[in-house]
Amino acid sequence: MELPNPAPRPEGEVRELERIWATPRGWRLLTAVNNTVIGLLYIGVAFLFFLMAGVLAMLMRTQLAVGDNRLIGQDLYNQMFTVHGTTMMFLFAVPAVEALGVMLLPQMLAARDLPFPRLSAFAIWAYVVGGLVFFSTIFYDLAPKGGWFMYPPLTLTEYSPGDNADFWLLGIGFIEISAIAGAIEIVVGTLRTRPPGMSLAKMPIFAWTMLIFASMIMFAFPAVILATMMLEIERAFGWPFFSAARGGDPLLWQHLFWFFGHPEVYIIFLPAAGLVSMIVPTMARTPLVGYHLIVVALIGTGFFSFGLWVHHMFTTGIPAMSLAFFSAASMAVAVPSGIQVFAWIATIAAGRQRFRMTTASLFVLGFLFIFTVGGLTGVMVAMVPFDYQVHDTYFVVAHFHYVLIGGFVFPLFAAYYYWIPLFSRRPLSERLGRWVFWLMFIGFNITFLPMHLTGLKGMPRRVWTYPEDIGWNMLNAISTVGTYVLAAGILIFLIDLIAKFRFGNAEIENPWGAGTLEWLPNDVYSTRSIPHITGREPLWDRPSLPQEVRDGHHYLPNAPTGGRETIVTSPIHAQPQYVIQMPGPGWPPFLAAVFTAACFLLLTVKMVTIAIICGALAIAFVLVWAWGLDPGPSKGTIDIARGIRLPTYMTGPTSHSWWAMVVLMIVAASLYFAYVFSYLFLWLVSPEVWAPTGSPAPPPGLWPVSAAALMLAGSSTIWLISRRLEKLAASPVAMAAALLLSLALLIGALALELSGHLMTGLRPGDNAYGAMVYLGAVLFAQLAFALTILGLFTLARYLTGKLDGARRVTFDNYMLLYHYAVAQSLLGLALVHGFPRLIG
Amino acid sequence: MKEPAKEAPTVSAILFLLAGPILWAGHLLLVYGVQSVTCVVGSGSVAPSALIRTLVVLVTLGAILLLCLALFFPGRLAHMLRYQTPDRDNHVFSVRVERLLILLSLPAVIWSGAAAFLLDACGLSR
């Protein structure tokens, strides 16, 4: 292969890169956006939550060690298992995966950073502040008590008064938004910032898993965001989505929650499997066996996981044939999981040299054993008759801990031992690592293996104590001892981590002799030059690659725009397309995150005025942050290699910002389809409250037709502005008038929709039908609010000369969201106004 | 700005590679939707069971047919979706992934559809 930049590089380029990518010091460290810095913060805080939720688990096990124990009261115990589960799922597992993505993806893809570093920083700080406040509720008797899945009617105000449940609903709802922000970053980063030549067929498996993980978040999380929104609205304003007496149904919550909750298991497991697929070939010193099969297994698992949600609801009285559909999918998903297990075993067997038994390898082998056991019990509970027997018993507790600890925690620890040399000057101790592994492995099995029997003996989950003479004492005592052994292993790890971890570059660059790009020589700017990729293990295929990269012989060895930048490539074949200019450190993302968290949390305790002020400040800081983006084409084109010149600015469907907006629209569409499902579900359950017989008939057809006409006129206005942006740029009055008109038309349509329903006498608190009708308007209003801010922001940029025919990214975003809002709202009008007429 | 490098639309790639799982998801949505709605709406009418069984079998056969077409004629599907991969590596990868995903989806569809022959359409299992 001919080197992209064969000539020697001029002096001073590396110093320039170091200056541009320097990490801020002191207090300004809070403003850092480098993926290695914020990624480390992200994973550090996620690990802190793991420890804190682990302490809660130990306390619960201590309580259950003997029967009739009075160490912990019932109410506190309820808070503990809720916070334990919620923290492990929402504050540890998903953030830890996103943290690994933020930390490792740019390194694995040899990108300077992910495409939206400030969005990453915002997501991380929002999570840190929101998560810590949520967890602290356990100390003030304010923690939720409804279990990590918060089923109504238990969590309705009648049965859960006070603010405890609201902390879960607003706190977790907010953290899910942070997860979605991270997912947008990962999807666009994986598809658009790969190094030249790294086509989909050559992408590292971890990148595949992160792409699938983030895509799954896009489709799964909106369902639970809608559910939390509905439950909070019902608690705060009495709109009866889940109250059976007024046409709602608690089962709707279960459908929405588990449509998120089951994929969530795979959202956690798939990236862990990706970590294993990276570690196994290195330790076996041979390429991964069945790369194509593993990609297929990952995609298949991701898809099938969305067809399993009802298997959490086998005992809710759903017809047998429906159960069979989901039972079949539950068993089908075992096939791709099995493919991966066999591929790893085959890779270990295929190595010509002996499999290296490092601490990371031990954790991988431990994972294989534990996860396989969890998978087998998973097939058992996928069988409806067996599930009837063990539902809500300790058998299920044992099963999902085998899947989640085996399927995620063990690979995560393997990842710690494997990748810490990338970020720390000293690696962790291999000798202590073996102690850590064996204590964790033995402790885990002593804790959870007996729980299968405890469950089969009939012990239900979530009981704070049990009668001493019922025969569960011995098994519970063994489980408790196991917990302490497991905790001892984690404690040794923690001590070793504190003793050894020092941020910086390791003395040995590639200690395991791995073949992937993260082991190239790294610094704050990632790699000196971005390599051209010709295989899946570039460092094995081309041993001279590290030196070539260090000497700047590959792409973009310098900083030609004078700022932070990386190469954007095409999504399938990774051909260079343009150079993205990225923002550096700044206070706005940090402050926006703090005020967003404050807004949500203050709403929880009903401090509405201060919450609104915080919300306004959060929006203000987001606008300050966005003001510095969209740099325009002023830097022209630059050389990234001999004979390759790329533009430094891009608009339209090729630009990364367009991609991010499309991803956001997919998230919004997922949420809206969850709404459509909810509407139809509640109609099926309670047709008697539906219009036109059970509620006032919808307003006359002229109302929705007029609203639709206004929206279409708005869309046409936007289309015209887009077509004539260059000409309009010379006419401030026409441009301002057109933008304001588009907003007025949208708001007018919303006003028409709302007033039409108000006129009929329908109120949202009347019954489930009224609640669903007005929820549709709320979803429309959310988009209209976002568009109002974005529209005024676009206008402000135009009036200050930062938007014209060529520099138009801000307008493009407004345009995309506007058209989406119109499409969604037209569908809403058809549903809300058409459906009652159809059934009437 | 003019784009320096063009390739097949990403949507085409997604639809081609994921043809199997998309058909599986469509099948699940249809059979579950048809069965649930018919059970509720048709509870008072004569024998919705036969209707549901027939619909489930028809939807399943349709999904199997489409999956088989995509399995045996990936070139035609790629042409229809305007998905072209100029280099051999990516072509082999794409076709292999598409076919293997169909092979995963096919038994899942048959497995789900088989319920129509084994279980009462609207009755509970206990």
Domain ranges of chain B: 11-118
Q: To the nearest whole angstrom, how far is the Cα of B28 from the nearest Cα of chain A?
A: 7
pLDDT at B1: 43
Task: Identify the closest residue of chain A to B4 by CA–CA distance.
Answer: A577
Tokens 């970020």 map to which residue? A423
Q: How many domains does chain A have?
A: 1
Q: Does A35 touch chain B (CB under 8 A)?
A: no
What are the pLDDT digits (tens) for A56-70?
999 999 999 999 999
- The span from the CA of A411 to the CA of A203, in Å, is 20
Task: Identify the closest residue of chain B to A305 by CA–CA distance.
Answer: B25
Please report, in tens digits, the pLDDT of each residue of chain B (126 residues total). Answer: 444 556 788 999 999 999 999 999 999 999 999 998 888 887 655 567 888 999 999 999 999 999 999 999 999 999 999 998 878 888 999 999 999 999 999 999 999 999 888 888 888 777
What are the pLDDT digits (tens) for A671-685?
999 999 999 999 999
Residues 6+ apart with CB under 8 A from A656: A115, A116, A188, A192, A568, A580, A650
Q: Does B11 touch chain A (CB under 8 A)?
A: no
Whether the CB-CB separation of A234 and A156 falls below 8 Å is answered with yes
Q: Does A646 touch chain B (CB under 8 A)?
A: yes
pLDDT at B41: 81
Taking contacts as CB-CB distances below 8 angstroms, the residues of chain B near A203 are none
Query: Which residue positions in chain A have pLDDT lower than 70?
Result: none
What is the ipTM score, two decimals? 0.93
Mean of all residue pLDDT scores within chain A: 94
pLDDT at B5: 59
Of A319, A324, A325, the CB nearest to B39: A319
pLDDT at B50: 87
- The span from the CA of A435 to the CA of A404, in Å, is 22
What are the pLDDT digits (tens) for A739-785?
999 999 999 999 999 999 999 999 999 999 999 999 999 999 999 99
Whether the CB-CB separation of A33 and A121 falls below 8 Å is answered with yes
Answer whether residue A766 is part of any domain: yes
CA distances from B30 to A384, B59, B109, B118 (A): 22, 7, 11, 19
Question: How far from chain centre, in Å, is Cα A689?
Answer: 37
Please classify residue B88 by burial: count the beta carbons closer than 10 Å to its beta carbon, then call 0-12 exposed, 13-18 middle and 19+ buried: exposed
Answer whether residue A446 is part of any domain: no
Inter-chain touch B90–A572, beta carbons under 8 Å: yes
Answer whether residue A746 is part of any domain: yes
- The span from the CA of A779 to the CA of A823, in Å, is 13
- The span from the CA of B105 to the CA of A257, in Å, is 25
Of A293, A320, A332, the CB nearest to B120: A320
Domain that holds residue A823: 658-839
Answer whether residue A230 is part of any domain: no
* CATH at A816: 1.20.120.80
Answer whether residue A820 is part of any domain: yes
Answer whether residue A325 is part of any domain: no
Q: To the nearest whole angstrom, how far is the Cα of A708 from the nearest Cα of chain B?
A: 29
Answer whether residue A683 is part of any domain: yes
- The span from the CA of B47 to the CA of A154, in Å, is 37
